[in-house]
Amino acid sequence: MKDKNLPLDNNSQSLEDLTNEANNIIESLEKKKDLSNSIEVYQELLKLNNVIEKKFQKTTKNIKEETKKKINNIITKKNAK
């Protein structure tokens, strides 16, 4: 699924908010006895999962970059002594 298919409001939400929304959708699906009319809800859950995954990957990348910068700063300071 492409990002352009996703609602814009999901892109501004935090990972925690998106996860809570996904959990609410899952709980509502679990409570239903007849899932034949739940295709749209399930597709929304898949889209939401995609947004969560992309945000998680972006956050992970940012953490790696910041950690690398900090390590390089420590090494530079240590070599300067």
**Total domains in the fold of the chain:** 1
User: Is 15 within the bounds of a domain?
Assistant: yes
User: Is 41 within the bounds of a domain?
Assistant: yes
Of residues 80 and 56, which shows the higher confidence score? 56
Residue 1 in this model has a pLDDT that exceeds 70: no
Residue 40 in this model has a pLDDT that exceeds 80: yes
Domain that holds residue 70: 10-80
Over residues 28-37, the pLDDT tens digits come to 988 888 877 8
Quote the pLDDT of residue 18.
92
Of residues 4 and 56, which shows the higher confidence score? 56
Task: Assign 3-class secondary structure to the chain.
Answer: CCHHHCCHHHHCCCHHHHHHHHHHHHHHHHHCCCHHHCHHHHHHHHHHHHHHHHHHHHHHHHHHHHHHHHHHHHHHHHHHC
Q: Burial letters for 24-44: b for 16+ Cβ neighbours within 10 Å, e otherwise?
A: ebeeeeeeeeeeeeeeeeeeb
Quote the pLDDT of residue 23.
94
Quote the pLDDT of residue 36.
79
Residue 57 near residue 76 (C-beta atoms within 8 A): no
User: Is 51 within the bounds of a domain?
Assistant: yes
Quote the pLDDT of residue 45.
93
